[in-house]
Amino acid sequence: MDRPEQLRFRDLVLAELPAVHRLAVYLSRSRQTAEDLVQDTYLRVFRSAGTYRETDLGPRPWLFKILHNVWRSRAGKPVAAGAPADELVEQTAAPDVVPLELDWEQVDERVKRAVEQLPDNYRDVLLLWAVEDLKYREIADITGVPIGTVMSRLFRARQMLTESLADVAAERGLA
Amino acid sequence: MPDPRDNLPSQQRLMAYADGELDADAALSAMRQVAADPAASQAVEQQLRLRQAVSRAVHAEPGPSDDLARRVSAMAFQMPAEPAGRLRWMRLGIAAAVAMLAVGILIGRFALSPDQPTVANRGVTVVPVAAVLPDEYVKSATQVHVRCSRGTDHHSGRGWPVEMASLETPVKQYANNQDLAYPDLSSIGFNYVGCATCGRPEQRGVHLVYRSVGGTDTLSLFVEPYTQQVDLPPNACRYCPKSDVHPVLVWRTEKLVFIMVGNARTPIEKARVAMKLPEPI
């Protein structure tokens, strides 16, 4: 990487700091841990600068992949493809979608709490889908699991969120 | 290898349809189901709203601390200038001067490489890591973007706002010279909603709103007269490094500044390519 490319690379990855931090906070559920994750991530990013290949999507998916690897290695999590719990979700009949009558603009705090309470693997894919607007295949690449597993985890995460928000609707006399 | 998106159970198929993940045939089938079944239509609508709600709730999370930003920038500016293919690192506890340089760059007071020559083979001018836009521009633009993402009743349907008289001359000239008064982003799945001045009288420009098919995402484009507060050469394009939650892409001509704000980088990059803008510097 020559000097102008280094400068450009530096700009590109530093501009993604808020997004990387945001994902780190929700993965770790701790701002303190998130700071450590982000710092370790960027250490690896700058060490691996020569391996970065620019795409139309920008550096964000690449950065997220590194963040995931850092998070997993810290937490001692192996990359598990198609764990039994995910297969069960695929095979059981899906319950009917609970229709929600909600003022969606007023439930941010409850949504935030519901997301934080999701199991790690479900929260992970949900964030990449909802917040970063990534496609299933992109999420699979970042998380290192098959696309079918991404889909089943995402499906289950959305079910759990909907069930949680159904309680909100009931409390407010809307369901 | 079979695609797991084929032969999905009904609920998952509707979710995949809401996510834009089905191929053309499957999407058409799902569309027919949605048209015929109010419960299916409600399920799709609910998924779109859920996605928006999660995005909004998570985006409300405060950004990285200044201290973290400084530490990360300090790492960045320790990258030595090495021949291609070899990067060796200085140790992390190095000179406070490097960290101070990083802090100075963060607050836009230092030029990183003011005398870098133009990279002739790419036609790109290297510019310092400065603010590009004043902080108040970024804050105002993102606030308007978020506000108008929730409701665009005050945006006119096509063309430019009725209040043309309130616009600065370069913006009026731009509007009058275009056969199509706004960039067409339909090729990337974003439809033009409308245009208004949106309470930014100090910039005397306009705010164009684009909404994605399905309504889950919004792009904002601000067209404003160029002022010297904008640190960007003409016909160059750059992401604002100080934008926080929402990515901000800036480009300019001799007399106009274009500021695109989105909820994620991907659609902005697609818009940049669709509008044939240069690669960001």
B91 CB neighbours in chain A (<8 A) are: none
R_g of chain A computed on alpha carbons: 18
Inspect the interface and report whether the beta carbons of A46 and B150 lie closer than 8 Å: no
Cβ under 8 Å to B: A residues 68-107 = 93-97, 99-100, 102, 104-105, 107
Q: Tell me the pLDDT tens digit for each residue of B66-114.
A: 889 888 988 877 655 444 433 334 333 444 444 444 444 444 433 333 3
**Measured between alpha carbons, how far is B73 from B241 in angstroms, rounded to an integer?**
12
**Measured between alpha carbons, how far is A135 from A140 in angstroms, rounded to an integer?**
9
DSSP letters, A90-115, are HHSPPPPPPP----GGG-HHHHHHHH
The residue ranges of chain A whose pLDDT is under 70 are 1-2, 76-106, 169-175
The tokens describing B143, both together, are: 């606030």
**Measured between alpha carbons, how far is B105 from B107 in angstroms, rounded to an integer?**
5
pLDDT of residue A90: 44
Q: Tell me the pLDDT tens digit for each residue of B113-127.
A: 333 333 333 333 333
Q: Tell me the pLDDT tens digit for each residue of B213-240.
A: 776 788 999 888 888 778 788 778 888 7
R_g of chain B computed on alpha carbons: 22
Q: pLDDT exceeding 90 applies to what percent of chain B? A: 2
Q: Which residue has the higher pLDDT, B203 or B147?
A: B147
Bridging pattern class, strands B237-239 and B248-252? antiparallel
A47 CB neighbours in chain B (<8 A) are: 87, 89
Region for A76 from its dihedrals, namely left if φ exceeds 0, alpha if ψ lies in -120 to 50, beta otherwise: left
Q: Which residue has the higher pLDDT, B64 or B171?
A: B64
**Measured between alpha carbons, how far is A8 from A26 in angstroms, rounded to an integer?**
28
DSSP 8-state symbol, A51: G
* Complex ipTM: 0.80
The alpha carbon of residue B229 and the mean position of all alpha carbons in its chain are separated, in whole angstroms, by: 20
Inspect the interface and report whether the beta carbons of A94 and B12 lie closer than 8 Å: yes
Mean pLDDT for chain B?
72
- Nearest residue of chain B to residue A40 (CA atoms): B72
Look at residue B180 and tell me whether its pLDDT is greater than 60.
Answer: no
Q: Which residue has the higher pLDDT, B122 or B174?
A: B174
Inspect the interface and report whether the beta carbons of B245 and A10 lie closer than 8 Å: no
Find, among B57, B222, B60, the residue nearest to B145 by Cα: B222
Q: Tell me the pLDDT tens digit for each residue of B131-171.
A: 677 777 777 788 788 878 776 666 665 555 555 556 677 77
Inspect the interface and report whether the beta carbons of A94 and B87 lie closer than 8 Å: no
The tokens describing B182, both together, are: 């706004």
B273 CB neighbours in chain A (<8 A) are: 56
**Measured between alpha carbons, how far is A117 from A123 in angstroms, rounded to an integer?**
8
pLDDT of residue B220: 92
DSSP 8-state symbol, B225: E
Q: Tell me the pLDDT tens digit for each residue of B237-274.
A: 888 765 556 788 888 888 888 899 988 888 888 898 88
Q: Residue B223 pairs with which residues in a beta bridge? A: B206, B258
**Measured between alpha carbons, how far is B133 from B242 in angstroms, rounded to an integer?**
8
**Measured between alpha carbons, how far is A71 from A135 in angstroms, rounded to an integer?**
21
pLDDT of residue B120: 33
Type of residue found at B230: V
The tokens describing B79, both together, are: 């990258």
A1 CB neighbours in chain B (<8 A) are: 82, 84-85, 87
Q: What is the pTM for the complete model shown?
A: 0.53
List for chain A the helix, strand, coil content (%; round to 5): 70, 0, 30
Region for B183 from its dihedrals, namely left if φ exceeds 0, alpha if ψ lies in -120 to 50, beta otherwise: beta
**Measured between alpha carbons, how far is A122 from B104 in angstroms, rounded to an integer?**
40
Find, among B200, B182, B203, the residue nearest to B191 by Cα: B182
